Amino acid sequence: MAKRRILKKRIKDISEALLVECMAVKQNHPTVQDSDLENIVKSILMMHYDFTARLSHVDKRQVRRFFAQLKDDLSVSTNEIIDHIYHL
CA-to-CA distance for 4 and 34, rounded, in angstroms? 35
Rounded to two decimals, the pTM is 0.88
Q: Which long-range contacts (CB under 8 A, 24 or more apart) does 39-46 make?
A: 40/81, 40/84, 40/85, 40/88, 43/81, 43/84, 44/15, 44/18, 44/19, 44/81, 45/15
pLDDT over 70 at 4, yes or no: yes
Closest CA to 27 of 88, 77, 82: 88
CA-to-CA distance for 42 and 18, rounded, in angstroms? 11
Helix ranges, the chain (H): 4-28, 34-56, 63-86
CA-to-CA distance for 25 and 23, rounded, in angstroms? 5
Residues 39-84 pLDDT 10s? 999 999 999 999 999 998 888 888 899 999 999 999 999 999 999 9
